[in-house]
Amino acid sequence: MDYFIVLLLIGLAVGLVSSALWISFLLAPRNPGGIKNEPYECGEETIGSSWVHFNVGYYLFALIFLIFDVEAAFLFPWAVVFREVGIIALIEAGLFISVLLVGLTYAWKKGVLEWV
């Protein structure tokens, strides 16, 4: 039932936004064209495409993020059963995280975490 309601709410969100946009479509003035539809760059004309190369740093952070996010996904079930498993759970998770932390230290030493 929970996930059925989630589906229902997805429908609600889509329905809400689309009906509101539809009402706005009926009420609001529409007068497209000309300079109004150019991208806004504080009055300057845009040179070339706006889909430009951006800082490679974003990709590096995304890669490190991916590793730690997957690790967090593994830690959720670990945290739930931690009390029952006890000290073994701590040692195992400690080994697992320390391997990842070696990676983080490597990235840190390589200067990946510096924003350039």
Partner 1 sequence: MNIADFFSIPILNISSSSWETVTIAQRAAQALSANSIELTAVFLVLSILITLSLLAGLGVVLIYAERKIAGHFQCRLGPMRVGWHGTMQALADVLKLLLKEDIVPARADKLLHLGAPFLSILATVLGLAIIPISPNIQVIDVNIGVVYVTAITGLGVLGALIAGWSSNNKWSLLGAMRAGAQIISYELSATLAILVIVLFAGSLQLSAIVQSQAEGWWIWRAHIVGVIAFFVFLIASTAELNRTPFDLPEGESELTGGFHTEYSGLRFAFFFLSEFVNMFVASALVVTLFFGGWMPFYIGNWEAFNSIMDLIPPAIWFAGKSAFFIFLLMWFRWTFPRLRIDQLMRLEWKILLPIGFANIFLASLVILTGFYF
For partner 1, the binding residues (CB under 8 A) are 1-6, 8-10, 12-14, 16-18, 20-21, 23-25, 27-32, 36-42, 46, 49-52, 54-55, 57-58, 61-62, 64-65, 68-69, 72-73, 75-76, 79-80, 82-83, 86-87, 89-90, 93-94, 97, 101, 104, 108, 113-115
Closer residue to partner 1 (CB): 57 or 106? 57
- Angle at alpha carbon of residue 88, lines to 86 and 94, rounded to 5°: 110
We find the least distance from the C-beta atom of residue 106 to partner 1, in angstroms, to be 13
We find the least distance from the C-beta atom of residue 44 to partner 1, in angstroms, to be 10
We find the least distance from the C-beta atom of residue 34 to partner 1, in angstroms, to be 9
We find the least distance from the C-beta atom of residue 114 to partner 1, in angstroms, to be 7
Tokens (6 digits) for 19: 């009906």
Q: For residue 45, which amino acid is it? A: E
78 burial level (CB within 10 Å; 0-12, 13-18, 19+): middle
Q: Is the dihedral of CA 67, 73, 76, 79 positive or negative?
A: negative
- Cα distance between residue 47 and residue 70, in whole Å: 40
